Chain A
Amino acid sequence: MAFSYDASGELIAQVNQAIADRTPLNIQGSGSKAFLGRPVDGRVLDTRAHRGIVTYDPTELVITVRAGTSLLELDRALDEAGQMLPCEPPRLGEGATVGGMIAAGLSGPRRPWSGSVRDFVLGSRAITGEGKHLRFGGEVMKNVAGYDLSRLMAASFGCLGVLTEVSLKVLPKPRLTRNLRIEMDVQRALQNLAEWGQQPVPISAASYDGGALHLRLEGGEGSVNAACDRFGGDELDVGYWDDLNEQRLAFFRDPRPLWRLSLPNATPPLALPGEQLIDWGGAQRWLKSDAEATAIRAIASEVGGSATCFTAGATDSPFQPLSAALLRYHRQLKAALDPHGIFNPGRMYAEV
């Protein structure tokens, strides 16, 4: 039986203490994504004691969980009800927590078709930089009361508050899933994906590994089987997508730094300085490269995208730098929500 405990009182006390001593906090779950972003010099605030599923009614398609709950526990509960969190966030470590999942905002192979982590956030509770425990959004699908601070929390790396609880939209699992591996060159693969993207085809994952296009088809029996007949190729082992999402494929063992390029749909094949692996139907490209950050970013920017370094210490600014205007508003927003600058200072950008 999963353990449930409300430790919000302790967390608030630690935040208030940090405000009182003006000591920055390094907010952590299991640390499974600690490699991402810049190092934080601060007192560790461990959220894992604050855990458990608060409410889950499958027919409402909403689950409310405390931030310290493990992703495995969340997945297990959803699985038992035949449901899922469609954005399939990677764990990148056994102990990965819900709080870390929201803070990092990483989404898995289904992202282009299902939406991202933030797209499934309906509401949240967070401790602010004034030590207040507040609630934003809610447990309903549609809610436009007040500013959308819940979705803002996603991918903010704990820089705007300590997330304590989140309500997520969940969906029924598809009735049928089939996986295909079709050999072709990269030009053809990306061309096909751009074409199929305009058609009602039940693709829910598409990756290219240098030799073959890997497809996942999900939906009703009729549409999935028809698509498989149309595309041909071989059955692909179902474990491929988890191995891709959890970075266990051989590609990720290359010792060079790992970069993630986020690019517009239908971006053609790019000559990148290193080895690459294509995901998200072409909109996300993993790169193993020793090249300079500026060179990699120039290629991504040129086609309207951005690049993030996924290897700790490989560059001083793992996230793509912001324009001067954007950076100023980031600082002002940070100051508004965290006036004492205690939440993960510098995790995303040195100045924020």
Chain B
Amino acid sequence: MNILYDERVDGALPKVDKADLLAELQRELPDLEILHRTEDLRPYECDGLSAYRTTPMLVVLPERVEQVEAILKLCHRRGVPVVARGAGTGLSGGALPLEQGVLLGMARFNKILEVNPQGRYARVQPGVRNLAISQAAAPFELYYAPDPSSQIACSIGGNVAENAGGVHCLKYGLTVHNLLKVEILTVEGERMTLGSDALDAPGFDLLALFTGSEGMLGIVTEVTVKLLPKPQVAKVLLASFDSVEKAGRAVGDIIAAGIIPGGLEMMDNLAIRAAEDFIRAGYPVEAEAILLCELDGVEADVRDDVERVRQVLDAAGATEVRLAKDEAERIKFWAGRKNAFPAVGRISPDYYCMDGTIPRRELPGVLKGIADLSAEYGLRVANVFHAGDGNMHPLILFDANTEGELERAEALGGKILELCVKVGGSITGEHGVGREKINQMCAQFNADELTTFHAVKAAFDPTGLLNPGKNIPTLHRCAEFGGMHVHGGQLPFPELERF
């Protein structure tokens, strides 16, 4: 589906002489590790979206901010595109390299610089893993709240670039809500501090603008995150339903009762069966849908809330409601959900994970729409859903070795995302646009909105050297590929020529 950089529609890239660039980098930065042989470059040719690969021209692996500064200055001077990469776990191809560019690996910046329990913050280098922050804060009974499912491997720099979420977002927010400050380098290699050690900073909220900007506006070199006190207890309820509609309505009922669960997850029958087969979490395999509702906080409140939620679930028509009897069972209930992706991976040679968000009330209609599309394309879809915050992860099951199935899976995925946009949702809740959803951006935003995004990009990176081709499509790309989505006989972007 034209995911790889295409100069025809994504814009011409500068011509870079590899030998020349390598020689200059080696001369200016003699102690910088540079990978340039094909076999060394191969591990870097994709991120977590492994269906798409491009071999970078060079990979640089700096260890000091001064080196990053010098690399950026050199690349800026020579007009060389730079793609930043953290742990490479991103699911939207945000760190997909360019043949004509340098891949800037930030993984070696892996030091926790400071954990300050009194100030409730941790100051870390961008390559530090998400989970490592909470582990370092654990002796103080504190933790870092956002917990993307890749938290064991993903790095905080990447979390900032993607505005990563997780299963606790409704109550504890996204990455953007849990940052105090980032140190960045501009495309010109100039240092800037966004945010501050205080709760706000003078000027425009550039910290908010940079969070989720996918490496398009600058390179993150240090991150200060907020730490929260660990909740005293967490209890989880598992509710079974004989229809997804009932489960969807129960979610609204819980919130209408004035309760904000720490986590509220939904799985459909295919996902339940796959997870149960893999993890033996004790899920009811006959249920059409299950809800996992976690309540956390001070013990007395949690006890009250568990009773309230139980009543709401019963009233909403749950066929069974179970409270995890101890911590071991709570972890088991969650293990089923957290392993839903690999579980689906066991029942299908390949799967393609989508990341749309919708207003929760639209859930029954969207699930029906997905079922219809699934039948139309002849591919099974398992649904797992961050029900509390409307973030769906339909998993499309396919076999890449069967001719045409990958293309069909992608087309089906694109249709699902368009359905999300149609009901007032978004094409990406937490995985980012990257290259993967570059075409769907044409459905989410109109030409004026995209033009505004390009203007913002140009304010920070006028020559477009940082992560070219990601996040925001060119209008030419929309004319070419957005043209697939004809609304009411009207081609979008009619003023542009078609290739």
Q: For chain B, residues 267 to 304, give those with C-beta under 8 angstroms from any C-beta of chain A.
A: 297-301, 303-304
- Asked if A220 is at the interface (CB within 8 A of a chain B CB), the reply is yes
Residues of chain B with a CB closer than 8 A to A284's CB: 199
Partner-binding segment picked from B6-14, B69-77, B428-436, B490-498: B428-436
- Beyond A144-B432, A332-B459, list 17 extra A-B contacts (CB 8 Å): A61-B170, A118-B205, A145-B427, A145-B433, A146-B449, A175-B258, A194-B119, A198-B117, A198-B140, A222-B303, A223-B297, A223-B300, A265-B199, A266-B118, A304-B196, A325-B186, A326-B192
A118-B205, A326-B203 given as contacts; is B173 within 8 A of A222 (CB)?
Answer: no
Stretch at the interface among A22-30, A45-53, A150-158, A269-277: A150-158
- Chain A residues near B481 (CB, 8 Å)? none
Residue of A nearest to B386 (CB): A142
Contact with B along A243-260 (1 / 0, CB 8 A): 000000000000000000
CB-based nearest B residue for A82: B258
**Chain B residues near A143 (CB-CB < 8 A):** 357, 426, 428-429
Take A142-B389, A173-B258, A223-B300 as given contacts and tell me if A154 and B361 are in contact as well, using a CB distance cutoff of 8 Å.
Answer: no
Q: Which of A88-96, A128-136, A208-216, A234-242 is found at the contact surface with chain B?
A: A128-136
From residue A168, how far is it (CB to closest CB) to chain B in Å?
14
In the complex, 14 of the A-B residue pairs with CB atoms within 8 angstroms, ordered by the A residue number, are A57-B359, A60-B252, A116-B200, A119-B176, A134-B446, A140-B429, A151-B205, A160-B204, A200-B298, A220-B305, A266-B118, A325-B191, A326-B193, A337-B455
A211 to chain B, nearest CB (A): 24
Closest to A222 in B: B300
Question: Is the CB–CB distance between A146 and B453 below 8 Å?
Answer: yes
Query: Which residue in chain A gives the minimum CB-CB distance to B472?
Result: A146
Please determine whether B192 and A141 come into contact, CB atoms closer than 8 angstroms: no
CA distance in complex: A86, B92 (Å): 33
Query: Does A313 lie at the interface of the complex (its beta carbon under 8 Å from any beta carbon of B)?
Result: no
- Bound CA span A128–B201, Å: 24
Q: Does A322 contact B (CB under 8 A)?
A: yes
Contact of A146 with B433 in the complex, beta carbons under 8 Å: yes
Whether A39 is near chain B, meaning CB under 8 Å from some CB there, is no
Is A348's beta carbon under 8 Å from chain B?
yes
Among the listed B209, B389, B424, which residue makes an inter-chain contact with A148, where contact means beta carbons less than 8 Å apart? Answer: B209
Instruction: Say whether A336 contacts B359, CB under 8 Å.
Output: no
Q: Which B329-381 residues have a C-beta within 8 angstroms of A?
A: 357-361
Contact partners of B141 in chain A: CB under 8 A: 198-199
Within 8 A of A (CB), among B424-466: 424-433, 437, 441, 444-446, 448-449, 452-453, 455-460
B445 to chain A, nearest CB (A): 6
A134-B448 CB under 8 A given contacts A116-B200, A140-B359, A152-B204: yes
Question: Which residues in window 133-188 of B have CB below 8 A to A?
Answer: 140-142, 162-163, 165, 169-170, 173-174, 176-177, 186
Q: Which residues of the partner chain A approach B445 to less than 8 Å between Cβ atoms?
A: 145-146
Q: How far is the CA of A201 from the CA of B299 in the complex (A)?
A: 11
B437 touches A145 (CB 8 A): yes
Given A145-B441, A151-B209, A220-B304, are A262 and B359 neighbors across the interface (CB < 8 Å)?
Answer: no
Q: Which residues from B are CB-within-8-Å of A57?
A: 359, 361
**Cβ-closest chain A residue relative to B218:** A329
A-contact 0/1 string along B237-268, CB 8 Å cutoff: 00000000000000011011011100000000
Name the distance in Å between B365's Cβ and chain A's nearest Cβ.
15
Chain B CB count within 10 A is highest, among A59, A140, A335, for: A140
Assess the A144–B260 pair: CB atoms within 8 A: no
Chain A residues near B229 (CB-CB < 8 A):
197-201
**A residues near B467, Cβ cutoff 8 Å:** none
User: Given A152-B204, A152-B208, A200-B297 in contact, is the A262-B177 Cβ separation under 8 Å?
Assistant: no
Kindly provide the distance from the CB of A51 to the nearest chain B CB, expressed in whole angstroms: 22
Distance of A135 Cα from B426 Cα, bound (Å) = 13
CB of A95, distance to nearest CB on chain B (Å): 25
Q: Which residues of A contact B429 (CB under 8 A)?
A: 140, 142-144
Decide if B201 touches A306 in the complex (CB within 8 Å). Answer: yes
Number of A residues near B (Cβ < 8 Å) is 85
Total residue contacts A-B, CB cutoff 8 A? 272
Q: Decide yes or no: A223 and B301 within 8 Å by CB, A172-B255, A262-B198, A335-B459 being known contacts.
A: yes
**Are B301 and A333 touching (Cβ within 8 A)?**
no
Docked CA distance A110–B400 (Å): 52
Give A43-77 as 1s and 0s: 1 = Cβ < 8 Å from B's Cβ atoms.
Answer: 00000000000000111111000000000000000
Most buried by B among A58, A132, A147, A151: A147
Q: Which residues of B contact A118 (CB under 8 A)?
A: 205, 208
Binding site for A on B (CB under 8 A): 116-121, 140-142, 162-163, 165, 169-170, 173-174, 176-177, 186, 190-193, 196-206, 208-209, 211-213, 217, 229-232, 252-253, 255-256, 258-260, 297-301, 303-305, 357-361, 386, 388-391, 424-433, 437, 441, 444-446, 448-449, 452-453, 455-460, 471-472
Asked whether, in the complex, the Cβ of B452 is within 8 Å of the Cβ of A148, the reply is: no
A residues neighboring B (CB under 8 Å): 57-62, 82, 105, 111-112, 115-116, 118-119, 128, 130, 132, 134-136, 138-149, 151-152, 154-156, 159-160, 171-173, 175, 194-195, 197-202, 219-223, 226, 262-266, 280, 283-284, 304-306, 308, 319-323, 325-326, 329-330, 332-333, 335-337, 348-349
How far, in Å, is A162 (CB) from chain B's closest CB? 14
A304/B197 in contact, CB under 8 A:
yes
Decide if A329 touches B460 in the complex (CB within 8 Å): yes
CA distance A308 to B202 in the complex (A): 8
Inter-chain CA distance A222–B232, complex, in Å, is: 13
| Shortest Cβ distance from residue B305 to the other chain A in the assembled complex, whole angstroms | 7
B190:A148 contact, CB within 8 angstroms:
no
Please name all residues of chain A whose beta carbon is closer than 8 Å to the beta carbon of B140 when the two chains form the complex.
198
Q: How far is the CA of A136 from the CA of B441 in the complex (A)?
A: 12
Task: Determine the chain A residues whose CB is within 8 A of the CB of B391 once the complex forms.
Answer: 140-142
**Residue in B198, B301, B459 whose CB lies within 8 Å of A264:** B198
A82 to B428, CA, bound (A): 30
Q: A306: which B residues are within 8 A, CB to CB? A: 196, 198, 201-202
- Chain B nearest CB from A16 CB (Å) reads 14
**A280 CA / B174 CA spacing, docked (Å):** 22
Contact B169 A142 (CB under 8 A): yes
Contacts of A144 in B (CB 8 A): 162-163, 212, 426, 428-433
> Which residue of chain A lies nearest to B254 when distances are taken between CB atoms in the complex?
A59
Is the beta-carbon distance between B260 and A156 smaller than 8 angstroms?
Answer: no
Q: Is the CB of A151 within 8 A of B199?
A: no
A141 CA / B168 CA spacing, docked (Å): 12
Distance, CA A203 to CA B390, complexed state (A): 29
| A159 nearest CB neighbor, chain B only | B204
Q: Are A60 and B360 in contact (CB under 8 A)?
A: yes
Q: Which residue of chain B is the closest to A156 with respect to CB atoms?
A: B204
Distance of B90 from chain A, by nearest CB (Å) = 11
**Interface hub of A61, A195, A283, A322 (most chain B Cβ within 10 A):** A61
